[in-house]
Amino acid sequence: MKLFSQILLILFLLTISTFSQNHQTYFSAGYSIPTTTSVLSTSQYDDQSFDQLVSTYSKGFILNGGYQFLVNNNFILDLGINYFFGNKNEEYFSTEISNSNYTNSNFSIVPTVNIKFDIGNFSPYTKFGCSFNLIKLQMDLDYIIGSTRFEYEYVYKGNVAIGFVGGIGVNYLFNQSLVGFIEAQLNSLTYYPSELHLTQILSNGEKNTTIFNLKENFKYNNTNEHVIPSEDFPFSSLSFILGLRIVL
């Protein structure tokens, strides 16, 4: 009976050990560089020349965290959470009488499938999946005509932006509980907001806000005077990430 109890205890501990090694959590940080840009405005001069002003919405630092389930030694299910800090008051147009800038950020949930191969302490891997993105985007415009200053805030809202994610990386096994990794991740993403909150700031500090619906197809009439054509904003990026995985 004692031997039987010991065998049951050993089997239970082995089961717990095996189950634990199938679960990992991770934390990482990195930097994103844009893979696309957008024409924000065009300036034309008296000599018939012009300049196109381009900018991007996907340059900046990111923090990542997530959970992994190892289906087997080569096949992994990954659920990540990312926060992209974006830019604050990033200037993209400025003259003596006018200035334009934008502020943006992105919180995303990223389910992916990872495939890895072990080579000693190293494990090269590839990943693919999608991203669900909650994007914040605000543009500020101010200009002066005569002695009057005009200020406007354009806040874009609505819609969850869905992107496609792919990447390659390498794990390094420090010990049975700690794994380091580096990764290059490509996120293909365009944001299509459904609403524009346009706020005019008056000289006395008072704010007047008008909400516009953004649609691809519509016809102007009395019932949709606050409907305007839809806009798109590129957020595609290539991120370089460094992090640690903890075996639970």
Q: What is the pLDDT of residues 136-151, one digit of tens each?
A: 999 888 877 777 778 8
Region of poorest pLDDT, from 11-15, 34-38, 162-166 = 11-15
Looking at residue 19, what is its pLDDT? Answer: 41
Q: Going by C-beta distance under 8 Å and a sequence separation of 6 or more, which residues neighbour residue 86?
A: 57, 60, 103, 104, 105, 106, 136
Looking at residue 8, what is its pLDDT? Answer: 40
What pTM was estimated for this model as a whole? 0.80
- Identity of residue 37: T
Total domain count for the chain? Answer: 1
* Per-residue pLDDT band at 4 (split at 50, 70, 90): very low
Burial class (CB in 10 A: 0-12, 13-18, 19+), 152: middle
Averaged pLDDT, 6-29: 60
Q: What is the DSSP letter of 209?
A: E
Looking at residue 10, what is its pLDDT? Answer: 46
Residue 119 has pLDDT above 60, yes or no: yes
Q: pLDDT tens-digit profile of 188-243?
A: 999 999 999 999 887 777 788 889 888 877 666 666 668 888 888 889 999 999 99
Instruction: Specify the CATH number for the domain of residue 235.
Output: 2.40.160.20
| Domain of residue 118, residue span | 2-247
